[in-house]
């Protein structure tokens, strides 16, 4: 391989559009980039995604380039780029609330098989951050919870499920993004804990993931003074990536960066220079998700750094060897059969030339996979509090539902128009006649109107969305209480919402606002299924981790 080809393998690029853009085709043809990342902007349907991925791999083949990584953030729950036509699994905290490592494995296995069938061979999951900071604005329900041992157990099960399905698993965000109150998409966080605490909490899931043979680890754009005395984020720290991860932890797999266009990097170091610094620190693969100009700049900067002697070519060789070994291990380098894609289901068996293989194999979104997702979702719903017997809802009493609509509150979110609300899910069960759908930014403005709408209802359900970060939602709950109402609060994302109104009589944690979760919540609200979930996190003095089923510790669910 030429130097340029080797450097190309170390860069992963994003692009716009639902078919290969001229920019990404140029990067594949002229720069030999190692792969691409897909976002919601690249997705219309499973058929379109499968066709896009075939076209991308064909572009590499025609140009005489190596087959590509085709990567995605398909964590499940609230962070998923493909949401329709697949068995979208619950997210990490919902799975943790269900309490089963077997479910974590099954969810990952199904997701992995479906991704591979669509031509996707690398998933940026699981999140191994231990979320023990209620103010964390970006991890939250993406984490398996606050207990390092439980995060490790469920994370390892997820890794096994993805990798046994033939898809690369990526443990993120090393060495831990769980105890921050700053989103690294927006600014540069610092975690100032001493080494002993980091070893006991943040590092434990990553140690166990390494022992389990995780394919890849993604670095966090966070400053850890205990590891790096200079104010360098882990992504750019030789002490953290080479000294700690390679040396002390003995990790031999692929180290990749989070996107270098996030503000934690771009505003402090510059994306192009950061690409060189990340490779110097020990990264094998750098991720640049958006700007074509920055992608080209990073490739050229890496080439010039080698020619100038700043980075030895032998250092480049070691990274490329790891990357190609992983491509070989996950079947990416396997030649495609007729109509197939490298590493994809269609390429696994020779096809009759007269028969066009299915663009989307029948296993994608099949009934068995959907049934598994439903079972896992239903097991997650957690009744944290039911002090005054407000649950289940009484069939013979009037009901008003006020639903705060989900909104993008972090750059990791890519929410599209919601196809279902909690009220609509209750309508499907014949349990709701009136629902107010309220945009998150309009809650304060509409508060008095919403309170008046609920005054003559016997029962009031308020579906909140990250109310612990949004004071207007807490004001709405207090206004209802002040007018003599006793609202049932259903948290459609963060269970930390209870901290914003600790005296509510009934509180349910759903962990996500995807249609499957809303239908599961509606079944629990109406008494159709028991509330079997347990909190994976503590809510101050209100409820401890492990509580559920009317706030009890263990025992039967309601």
CA-wise closest residue to 78 among 142, 127, 132 = 142
Q: Is 258 a catalytic residue?
A: yes
Q: Which two tokens stand for residue 384?
A: 């944290």
Catalytic pick among 23, 179, 215, 258: 258
Q: What are phi and psi of 368, to 5 degrees?
A: -65, -40
**CB-CB contact of 402 with 460 (8 Å):** yes
Cα–Cα dist 370/376, whole Å = 10
Cα–Cα dist 334/447, whole Å = 59
Tell me which H or E stretch contains 93. Answer: helix 92-98
In angstroms, the first-to-last Cα distance of the chain is 63
> How many other β-carbons are positioned within 10 Å of the β-carbon of residue 396?
5
Tell me which H or E stretch contains 281. Answer: helix 271-281
Q: Which two tokens stand for residue 35?
A: 């792969």
**CB-CB contact of 251 with 322 (8 Å):** no
If you ran DSSP here, which 8-state letter would residue 495 be given?
G
**What SS3 state is found at 9?**
helix
Q: Is 503 a catalytic residue?
A: no
For strand 506-509 and strand 488-491, is the pairing parallel, antiparallel, or unpaired?
parallel
Catalytic pick among 185, 193, 238, 268: 185
Q: Which two tokens stand for residue 90?
A: 């619950």
Active site residues: 185, 258
């Amino acid at each position: 391989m030429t130097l340029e080809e080797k450097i190309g393998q170390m860069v992963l690029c994003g692009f716009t559009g639902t078919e290969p853009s001229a920019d990404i085709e140029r990067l594949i043809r002229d720069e030999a980039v190692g792969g691409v990342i897909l976002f919601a902007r690249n997705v219309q349907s499973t058929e379109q995604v499968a066709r896009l991925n075939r076209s991308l791999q064909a572009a590499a083949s025609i140009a005489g380039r190596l087959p590509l990584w085709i990567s995605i953030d398909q964590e499940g729950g609230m962070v998923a780029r493909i949401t329709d036509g697949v068995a979208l699994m619950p997210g990490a905290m919902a799975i943790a609330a269900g309490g089963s490592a077997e479910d974590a494995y099954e969810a990952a296995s199904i997701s992995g098989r479906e991704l591979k069938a669509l031509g996707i061979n690398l998933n940026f999951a699981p999140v191994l951050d231990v979320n023990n900071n209620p103010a964390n604005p970006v991890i939250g329900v993406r984490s398996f919870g606050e207990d390092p041992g439980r995060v490790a157990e469920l994370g390892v099960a997820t890794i096994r499920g993805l990798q046994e399905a033939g898809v690369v698993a990526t443990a993120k965000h090393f060495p831990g993004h769980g105890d921050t109150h700053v989103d690294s998409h927006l600014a540069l966080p610092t975690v100032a804990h001493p080494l002993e605490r980091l070893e006991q909490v943040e590092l434990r899931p990553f140690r166990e993931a390494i022992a389990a043979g995780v394919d890849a680890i993604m670095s966090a754009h966070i400053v850890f003074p205990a590891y790096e005395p200079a104010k360098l984020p882990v992504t750019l720290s030789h002490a953290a990536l080479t000294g700690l991860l390679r040396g002390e932890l003995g990790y031999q797999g692929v180290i990749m960066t989070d996107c270098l266009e996030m503000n934690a990097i771009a505003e402090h170091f510059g994306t192009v220079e950061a690409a060189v610094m990340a490779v110097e620190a020990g990264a094998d693969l750098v991720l640049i998700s958006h700007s074509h100009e920055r992608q080209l700049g990073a490739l050229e900067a890496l080439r010039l750094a080698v020619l100038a002697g700043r980075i030895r070519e032998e250092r480049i060789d070691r990274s490329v060897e790891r990357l190609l070994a992983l491509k070989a291990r996950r079947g990416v380098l396997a030649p495609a059969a007729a109509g197939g894609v490298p590493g994809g289901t269609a390429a696994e068996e020779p096809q009759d030339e007269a028969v066009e293989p299915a663009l989307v194999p029948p296993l994608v979104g099949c009934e068995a996979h959907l049934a598994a997702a439903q079972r896992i979702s239903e097991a997650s719903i957690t009744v944290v509090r039911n002090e005054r017997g407000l649950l289940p809802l009484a069939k013979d009493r009037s009901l008003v539902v006020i639903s705060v609509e989900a909104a993008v509150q972090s750059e990791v979110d890519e929410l599209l128009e919601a196809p279902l609300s909690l009220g609509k899910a209750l309508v499907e069960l014949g349990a709701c006649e009136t629902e107010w759908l309220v945009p998150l930014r309009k809650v304060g403005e509409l508060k008095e109107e919403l309170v008046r709408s609920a005054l003559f209802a016997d029962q009031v359900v308020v579906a909140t969305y990250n109310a612990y970060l949004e004071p207007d939602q807490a004001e709405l709950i207090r206004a209802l209480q002040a007018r003599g109402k006793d609202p049932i609060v259903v948290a459609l994302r963060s269970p930390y919402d209870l901290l914003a109104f600790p005296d509510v009589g009934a509180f349910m944690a759903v962990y996500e606002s995807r249609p499957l979760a809303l239908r599961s919540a509606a079944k629990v609200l109406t008494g159709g299924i028991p509330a079997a979930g347990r909190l994976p996190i503590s809510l101050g003095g209100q409820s401890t981790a492990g509580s559920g089923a009317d706030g009890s510790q263990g025992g039967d669910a309601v």
